[in-house]
Amino acid sequence: MRVAFILSEIGSGIRRNLSMVTSVILVTFISLTFVGAAGLFQLQINQMKGYWYDRVQVTIYLCVDNSSEASCAAGPVTEDQRAAIEARLESDQFAPYVDTVTHETQEEALVHFRDQFANSPIVDSVTAEQLPESFRVSLVDAEKYEVIDEAFSSEPGVDAVSDQRDFLEAIFRYMNWASVVALAIAGIMTFCAILLIATTIRLSAFSRRRETGIMRLVGASKAIIQLPFILEGVIAAVIGAVLASATLWGASRFLIDGWLVNTFPQTAFISSQQVLLLVPVLILLGALLAGISSLLTLRRYVKV
Amino acid sequence: MIRFDDVTKTYDPTSQPALDAVSLDIDRGEFVFLVGASGSGKSTFIRLVLKEDRASRGAVYVAGQNVANIPSWRVPRLRRGIGVVFQDFRLLPNKTVFANVAFAMQVIGRSRAVIRETVPDVLATVGLEGKDNRMPHELSGGEQQRVAIARAIVNRPGILLADEPTGNLDPTTSMGIMKILDTINQNGTTVVMATHDDDIVNTMRKRVVELRGGSVVRDDAQGIYAGRPEAMAG
Ligand SMILES: Nc1ncnc2c1ncn2[C@@H]1O[C@H](COP(=O)(O)OP(=O)(O)OP(=O)(O)O)[C@@H](O)[C@H]1O
Ligand SMILES: [Mg+2]
């Protein structure tokens, strides 16, 4: 009986405040779309970070005959120096930072070089002796590349340590910045949603003050009086969240699956499947937004 | 049934209290008129019984319980034991007569079957047989007030509070309403009625409590309405 009663109260409330309910749906739809987009952006950043981090290597170039660095003044790297560097890379001291170490001889360097510049005429003029041999170090945590640089750049027999720092820092700076902006927009939109839901509930409570007054007089409990308002807001917000989810999913199929993946085949993109993971989060968030803002509003406006 | 023990109610500390050290005892089954000029504190009295407001000083007892000690989540239960009727009826304009009365049962979780059984009985008690499906705007003022009374008593409260229930009605219609209230009182419900209407008070010959400036100035067992013209102002 009471369930039926509350449902009919919700129904009449929604019918009476159709325009306000619609605006709650729209504002939660838009704000949750932003929140979801920010979430997807973050997922994409993480994915790309993972992609880059897996490929980040610090390269320790060893001295060769024609090295110009001061550390190579004593001539090409010796057997002992190379062994010392390798032993140090594999020592306990660097175990927390170093994942794998591979040694690249001058002959292997030449093979790589030829691969890389296959279309260039300089390939034929380069010999193995001109290319440095190197240690390719992959890292446990790609952001700790400085450790290797500091430890090895002045080691005897080391020509230079190259760590792709500038390149990575630029990429991650832009990405972090973009995700902060996306989160800020999502935060502002969420704030707007809370305010609008609170206003709607307040108007709804005002337009039904006759009912609530009578309910109070005949001894209806606080829950019975307030539940229709809360559920009304929650239902509208959940509809908004569903619309936002559908929009994000459609957009990701269209943008990512249909375009980005084909245009940038080298880059790892999130899949539209991952968007589906976001759906329960958005719905929960929408329900929570509406529930909390209506509870706070009702405490002040529907006296019991 | 209702006891006021030295109750003072001050809304605004700068003006004089709405009720000033009122002590009053209303027994179970009594019929009491609360009379007095506009602003003498009649509605305030009723609000205190319902715990719509808190007494500034003193204690209000309803059915033996000090309402100040009732926690807020138990206040609905207090109000289920009290029916209230107002001058302006306070019906829901978009619900039928039946639905308006049923509303009071729905909100406290009565079953559909009980509602279907009880509401027609109560509508008969107030003389509205056959008007179940009318909308409030299709009823006269007297009939609307009967619907309000039906709603107030449908949950069988021990107390019925009526704040100027005949204030908007002509004398004949008012007498009809008084008959219903009397019948309800005969069935054992304690009735407290605030009114300006001297004819009604004088006809009914019930206990009369007169308030002036928030104080009880008269309490007659079978009283008449003595103070006249200025009282009609409100
Ligand atoms: N909510 C309130 N806030 C402040 N003052 C109030 C409030 N309600 C009543 N008062 C004051 O308390 C006094 C008593 O008011 P009350 O409504 O009890 O009078 P009443 O006897 O019911 O009058 P009437 O016959 O006109 O209905 C008045 O002076 C009124 O102005
Ligand atoms: Mg009054």
**Can you give the residue ranges of every domain in chain B?**
94-156
DSSP-derived 3-state class of residue B65: strand
Instruction: Calculate mean pLDDT across residues A169-186.
Output: 82
Identify the closest residue of chain B to A222 by CA–CA distance. B73
> pLDDT averaged over chain A?
83
Q: Specify the ligand 1 atom closest to the Cα of B40.
A: 21
Number of other CB atoms surrounding residue B53 within 10 Å: 15
* Percent of chain A whose predicted confidence (pLDDT) is above 70: 96
Best of B106, B153, B161 to disrupt the A interface by mutation (most A CBs within 10 Å)?
B106
> Do the chains contact at B108 and A218, CB–CB below 8 Å?
yes
State pLDDT tens for residues A102-130: 888 888 888 888 877 776 777 777 888 88
Residues of B with CB below 8 A from A210's CB? 90, 92
Cα of B36 vs centre of ligand 2, distance in Å, is 10
pLDDT at residue B209, as a whole number: 95
> Do the chains contact at A221 and B73, CB–CB below 8 Å?
yes
Q: Specify the ligand 1 atom closest to the Cα of B44.
A: 18
Using a CB–CB cutoff of 8 Å, tell me whether B76 touches chain A: yes
Instruction: Calculate mean pLDDT across residues A71-94.
Output: 84
> Do the chains contact at A215 and B107, CB–CB below 8 Å?
yes
pLDDT over 60 at B203, yes or no: yes
pLDDT category, A247, cuts 50, 70, 90? very high
Instruction: Calculate mean pLDDT across residues B171-196.
Output: 95
Edge-to-edge strands, sheet with B57-62:
B19-26, B2-9, B57-62, B65-66
Residues of A with CB below 8 A from B50's CB? 217
pTM, to two decimals = 0.72
Q: When comparing pLDDT for A4 and B4, which is higher?
A: B4
Best of B50, B82, B107 to disrupt the A interface by mutation (most A CBs within 10 Å)?
B107
Q: When comparing pLDDT for A38 and A268, which is higher?
A: A38
Helix (H) or strand (E) holding B199: helix B198-204
Which protein residue's CA is at the shortest distance from atom 4 of ligand 1?
A: B11
Instruction: Calculate mean pLDDT across residues B107-132.
Output: 93
pLDDT over 80 at B53, yes or no: yes
Q: When comparing pLDDT for B171 and B232, which is higher?
A: B171
* Nearest ligand, CA B38: 1
> Do the chains contact at A1 and B78, CB–CB below 8 Å?
no
> Do the chains contact at B90 and A210, CB–CB below 8 Å?
yes
Q: When comparing pLDDT for A53 and B189, which is higher?
A: B189
Paired strand residues for A45: none
Residues of B with CB below 8 A from A11's CB? none
Using a CB–CB cutoff of 8 Å, tell me whether B112 touches chain A: yes
Residues of B with CB below 8 A from A223's CB? none
Does the complex come out with an ipTM higher than 0.85?
A: no
What are the residues whose beta carbon lies below 5 Å from ligand 2 (ion)? Answer: B 43
Cβ(A133)–Cβ(A109) below 8 Å: yes
Cβ(A273)–Cβ(A261) below 8 Å: no
Identify the closest residue of chain B to A4 by CA–CA distance. B106
pLDDT category, A148, cuts 50, 70, 90? confident
* Percent of chain B whose predicted confidence (pLDDT) is above 70: 96
Which protein residue's CA is at the shortest distance from atom 26 of ligand 1?
A: B38
Instruction: Calculate mean pLDDT across residues A166-176.
Output: 76
> Do the chains contact at A214 and B104, CB–CB below 8 Å?
yes
Q: How far apart are CA B99 and CA B83, in angstroms?
A: 17
Instruction: Calculate mean pLDDT across residues A230-243.
Output: 91
Cα of B105 vs centre of ligand 2, distance in Å, is 27
Q: How far apart are CA A88 and CA A86, in angstroms?
A: 5
Q: What is the distance in angstroms between the Cα of A209 and the nearest Cα belonging to chain B?
A: 11
Q: How far apart are CA A108 and CA A103, in angstroms?
A: 9
Which protein residue's CA is at the shortest distance from atom 25 of ligand 1?
A: B38
pLDDT over 60 at B98, yes or no: yes
Cα of A103 vs centre of ligand 1, distance in Å, is 94
pLDDT at residue B135, as a whole number: 96
Instruction: Tell me the torsion sign for CA atoms B195, B198, B203, B207.
Output: positive
pLDDT at residue A108, as a whole number: 86
- Radius of gyration (Cα) for chain A, nearest Å? 31
* Percent of chain A whose predicted confidence (pLDDT) is above 90: 9
> Do the chains contact at B72 and A304, CB–CB below 8 Å?
yes
Dihedral over alpha carbons A29, A35, A37, A42 (to 10 degrees): -170
pLDDT over 90 at B51, yes or no: yes
pLDDT at residue A243, as a whole number: 95
Q: Specify the ligand 1 atom closest to the Cα of B214.
A: 14
> Do the chains contact at B103 and A304, CB–CB below 8 Å?
no
Report B:39-68 residues touching A (Cβ under 8 A).
50
State pLDDT tens for residues B209-232: 999 999 999 998 877 776 554 444
pLDDT over 60 at B149, yes or no: yes
Domain segments of chain A as ranges? 2-52+169-301, 55-164
> Do the chains contact at B90 and A222, CB–CB below 8 Å?
no
CATH of A55-164, one of 1.10.3720.10, 3.40.50.1820, 3.40.50.720, 3.30.70.3040: 3.30.70.3040
Q: Is A156 exposed, middle or buried (0-12, 13-18, 19+ CB in 10 A)?
A: middle
Nearest to A220 among B94, B107, B112 (CB): B107
Instruction: Calculate mean pLDDT across residues B81-94.
Output: 93
Using a CB–CB cutoff of 8 Å, tell me whether B95 touches chain A: no
pLDDT at residue A301, as a whole number: 67
Q: How far apart are CA B3 and CA B23, in angstroms?
A: 7
pLDDT at residue B32, as a whole number: 96
pLDDT category, B154, cuts 50, 70, 90? very high
Which protein residues touch ligand 1 with a CB less than 6 Å away? Answer: B 11-12, 18, 36, 38-44, 234
Number of other CB atoms surrounding residue B121 within 10 Å: 10
pLDDT at residue B229, as a whole number: 46
Question: Which amino acid does the sequence have at B24?
Answer: L
> pLDDT averaged over chain B?
92
- Interchain CB contacts (distance < 8 Å): A and B: 60
Using a CB–CB cutoff of 8 Å, tell me whether A214 touches chain B: yes
pLDDT over 80 at A212, yes or no: yes
pLDDT over 60 at A289, yes or no: yes
Using a CB–CB cutoff of 8 Å, tell me whether B187 touches chain A: no
pLDDT over 90 at B189, yes or no: yes
pLDDT over 70 at B234, yes or no: no
